[in-house]
Structure 1
Amino acid sequence: MKKKLLSLLVVTILGVSFAGCAQNDSSSTTESNIAESDITETESESTVSESQSGTVYPLTINNYSIEDDGAIWAEKEQVFESAPERIVCNMQGSAEVLIRLGLGDRIVGVAGVFGDVDSDIKEEFDKIPMLSEDYAGQEVILGANPDFVIGRGDLFVDADYGSGTVDFLNDSGIRTYIMNTGKEGAVFDDFFTDIDELGQIFDVQEAADALIEQYQKQIDDLTNNPAWNGKEKTIAEIASVEDGNFVVSSGKGEYFQNDALQLVGLNNIFKDAPAYEVSNEELIENNPDVLLLFKYNGGPDTDVMVEELYQNETLQDVTAIKEKQIYVADFNAFYGTGGGIFNAVSNLAQNVWLSDTQD
């Protein structure tokens, strides 16, 4: 299971699990930021089943089903006769969003717990039954007797690591919600759509509006921070390092992650590459300023990975190696469907730009 977990995580970082997903416009970071008027417009368009007093059930939400082992996203409606009472989250980040919406007491199980939990919600998160630190299979998910399963799209598949297909879960009387942040081309608007629609589903619109406002302020603060505002460094992602060999992820199609990096002046040098994996020779030729690795519970020792990169003879002329600019981020924060990515890029920026100032 650990080997399969490692393989799935590397595939996710490489972006293969997003291949074939519904396409979004590759808007810039500035275009991704939602002004207050945009939020109002989005809400007015997506709350047809609401009144001023709250959600009116039955509520229909346009979401997705997943086909071809997570590669193809197809639109599918979810109809809610009432607010779900028993939630299972197939990824940690989904549980974090729900807790911030005041719904932690409805979560009866969480899986895919790969990273640290923010201190302000850790106590409540720790009360949630952990179905598995790794990905949880269909039997485990059903064993929690949920009426609602939420999380990352490529896990809604019929596989030993999968939550079960959307069609199967729906036929079993279980509503589903696939987070928009996991689809290819996702931008900040899609994350706000997730929060807004969850607010409708659970009739907690005020909490959803407040959470959107909180994240928008975080985005604005990152955008306008004078430490990196108007500056730029190039960055590349390393998916894995083992026995001196390394795999480079292009980040192709990961607009949500790439836009978040650009908030803090970090430009993914390979984001427009034609493939999900980049050759070692291309990494050396493009000479990024910064290299980024990801850590997760049960994964390889990232200190060892970093040292292997620093010692790799073929990389000695790469700026990131020469200037000791290799950093490690939390996998869940970047790929766990939640809002932890904004704290993650903030921490990364502090390291990148603070070390640059000190030098």
Structure 2
Amino acid sequence: MTRRRTLPSALALLPLLAACAAPQAAPTAAKPAPGFPYTVTNCGVTTTYQAPPKRAVTMNQHVTEVLLALGLEKSLVGTAYLDDAVLPAYRKAYDAVPVLAKEYPSKEALLAANPDFVYGGYTSAFDAKAGRARDDLAKAGITSRLNGEYCADGPVSVDDLYREVTEVGRTFGVPDRAAKWTRDARASLAATAERIEGVDPVSVFVYDSGDRTAFTAGGDGIGDDLITRAGGRNVFADLAKPFGDATWEQVVARKPEVVLIYDYGTTTVEQKKRRLLDDPALKDVPAIRNRRFAVLPLSDTVLGVRVPAAVDKLAAQLHPATAR
């Protein structure tokens, strides 16, 4: 049996016509994720997050390791620029993340990963000439963060490290993980401080690189606080920047007792030692005369999650009698 289609009466159409004429209600905004919105100001850029980033790219090893330490590898869609080997504890997680470039990716390679968040360790990560400036990324709908060591208003300390980890934890919705990491870091630093209590600080010259001049650690970076906490005194603490150049005449005049070599890149530790030992101008520097060298990977000495363990490692080299 066929059912006849009946047309609606004029009266029946009135409610429909009224509905069409009435203004439509605005769509309901999506509810923020638990713990959000979260607003943070980083290096002069204020960002409000309604939810954690889901497609993050890290540029520079120490910020990559911050995210891995917080168990955020599943939020990473790309990474770039290793200075040395990733910590063994993070190797498996790191290996699951696509490497976009050996050093910094091009703008095209970065955008091809379709990130919603880019985290840089050094100001060079956001090079305007390469099209990676934070403003340019923001115009593309991509939020960003620069490691706080490179916009600090004065000397950087472990308090800035705690802040870095805390803010990243909040940004990604894992404040509990950040709080646990911070508790463990405080305990590690306290144990080292207790072990070397009462030692006489030794004077330290950081040799990062350089031939005509010495590229060294200044007083404004975390490296200076690291040396102090390990029972040392940075002879270039008066250099008001995280890293900078010093003359070899200054190195001679400041008579460091220990040379701390930063290990990274294609120049080996042995090559750096040989450059210093073979320079006749340095022969009377106590550290050179006595062949007192300490070594840390570069990634240990910047604002990242390696710092507490690095303090302990350096303390053992500066004060071997206290080593466990």
- TM-score scaled by length of structure 2: 0.81
Question: Which one scores higher on RCO, CA 8 angstroms, separation ≥ 6?
Answer: 1
Secondary structure of the corresponding residue to residue 77 of structure 1 = strand
1:188 match: 158
Checking the alignment, whether the CA contact within 8 Å between 1:153 and 1:183 is kept in structure 2 is no
Q: Deviations over 1:289-311 (max 9, x none)?
A: 011222224x2122112112112
Give the partner amino acid of 1:348. L
1:212 match: 182
Checking the alignment, whether the CA contact within 8 Å between 2:202 and 2:318 is kept in structure 1 is no
Secondary structure of the corresponding residue to residue 100 of structure 2 = strand
1:119 match: 88
Match of 1:106 among 71, 75, 83: 75
Q: CA deviation at 1:56?
A: 2.4
Q: CA deviation at 1:167?
A: 0.8
Matched, 1:292 2:272: no
Larger radius of gyration: 2
Distance 1:225 1:301, change over 3 A: same
Give the partner amino acid of 1:105. K
Secondary structure of the corresponding residue to residue 276 of structure 2 = helix
Match of 2:134 among 166, 173, 176: 166
Alpha carbon RMSD of aligned pairs, Å? 2.3
Secondary structure of the corresponding residue to residue 129 of structure 2 = coil
Distance 1:216 1:97, change over 3 A: same
Match of 1:55 among 35, 53, 67: 35
Match of 2:51 among 82, 98, 105: 82
Q: Deviations over 1:219-265 (max 9, x none)?
A: 21222213x643210001223244xx5524251422x2211111111
Q: CA deviation at 1:127?
A: 1.6
1:201 match: 171
Matched, 1:325 2:292: yes
* CA distance in structure 2 between the aligned counterparts of 1:221 and 1:357, rounded to whole angstroms: 12
* CA distance in structure 1 between the aligned counterparts of 2:240 and 2:58, rounded to whole angstroms: 33
The equivalences for 1:118-157 within 5 A come to 118-154=87-123, 155-157=125-127
Match of 2:306 among 320, 331, 340: 340
Distance 1:225 1:54, change over 3 A: farther
Give the partner amino acid of 2:205. A
- TM-score scaled by length of structure 1: 0.74
Distance 1:357 1:333, change over 3 A: closer
Q: Which runs of 5+ in 1 are unaligned?
A: 1-50, 65-74
1:349 match: 315
Checking the alignment, whether the CA contact within 8 Å between 2:205 and 2:234 is kept in structure 1 is yes
Checking the alignment, whether the CA contact within 8 Å between 2:73 and 2:93 is kept in structure 1 is yes
Give the partner amino acid of 1:62. T
* CA distance in structure 2 between the aligned counterparts of 1:76 and 1:206, rounded to whole angstroms: 25
Same amino acid, percent of matched pairs? 23
Distance 1:252 1:259, change over 3 A: closer
Checking the alignment, whether the CA contact within 8 Å between 1:109 and 1:128 is kept in structure 2 is yes
2:7 match: none
Give the partner amino acid of 1:112. Y
